[in-house]
Amino acid sequence: SLAGKTAIVTGSTSGIGLAYAKALAAEGASVMINGFGKPDEIEAERRALAEASGAKAAYSDADMTKPDEIAAMVARCTEEMGSPDIAIANAGIQHVAKIEDFPIEKWDAIIAINLSSAWHLMRAVVPGMKEKGWGRIICTASAHSLVASPGKSAYVAAKHGIAGLVKTVALETAEQGVTVNAISPGYVWTPLVENQIPDTMKARGLTREQVMNDVLLAAQPTKQFVQPEEVAGLAVYLCGDAAAGITGANLSMDGGWTAQ
């Protein structure tokens, strides 16, 4: 049980992040969610999380491209629910284009949201975790933290960066009861994947079915999308005492993708 623990999950109004928030709340943790979306839908999710956990739940609209907003999010969480015991850097975006056509502002946004925001989050939560002598930091990396695909120069660079960041902060916190790990899913069925299908169709001149079967699931030997709840289950395991010895690891959940 994670009762009495406080968790903060970035990019948790949708997809994998929302699944993490639900799984942590089901274990009794207070959860601060974050991300964009319709205010009434976010408020409904927040209320459902509080109901599920029997603890507090809060929402921060912090923009992960803005370091000061990330620090303020952690400060508010600390004030309202206690300093985070669990921090999951999950917010992420994708853009698919060949490097010569890749918009510079998309590169900047992907590096900011998918990589730098994790660094800013860790910088803000590590002192409180060290003080308590307990902490769990998890980043949603990707199979693209280990291998590449054409058209994803910014995403692959950011995710490889996450793999290095996790190793470094794991070493810096290893003697203080804090673990820092990455989870690297293959294709998970979320809006992020669904929304990149049209761009991939354009970039490679393929139909929707060809992108689904010959591009996305071609990489995944199981020929199945990973489900957000499966990723969240691994995160809950990493938060438990049985996972105290797992730190600096990059755990794949990719249907065999990176075994090839």
Binding site for ligand NAD (CB under 6 A): 11-17, 34-37, 63-65, 90-93, 113-114, 140, 142, 185, 187-188, 190-193
Q: Which residues contact 241 (CB under 8 A, 6 or more apart)?
A: none
User: Annotated catalytic, 155?
Assistant: yes
Start-to-end C-alpha separation, the chain: 36
CB of 1 to ligand NAD, least distance (A): 25
> DSSP labels for 226-255?
BPHHHHHHHHHHHHSGGGTT--S-EEEEST
Nearest approach in angstroms of CB 89 to ligand NAD is: 8
CB 142 within 8 A of CB 15: no
Minimal distance, residue 179 CB to ligand NAD, in Å: 19
Residues composing the chain = 260
Q: Please pick, among 59, 155, 187, 237, the residue that the annotation labels catalytic.
A: 155
Q: Which helix (H) or strand (E) holds 33?
A: strand 30-34
CA distance 21 to 79: 19
Classify 51 as helix, strand or coil: helix
Nearer residue to ligand NAD within complex by CB, 8 or 113: 113
Indicate the residue among 37 and 233 with the shorter CB distance to ligand NAD.
37
Identity of the residue, 136 or 144, whose beta carbon is nearer to ligand NAD in the bound complex: 144
* CB within 8 Å of 91: residues ≥ 6 apart: 10, 11, 17, 34, 35, 64, 113, 114, 117
Nearest approach in angstroms of CB 155 to ligand NAD is 7
Looking at the Cβ atoms of 83 and 196, the one nearer to ligand NAD is 196
Which residues are part of the catalytic machinery?
A: 155
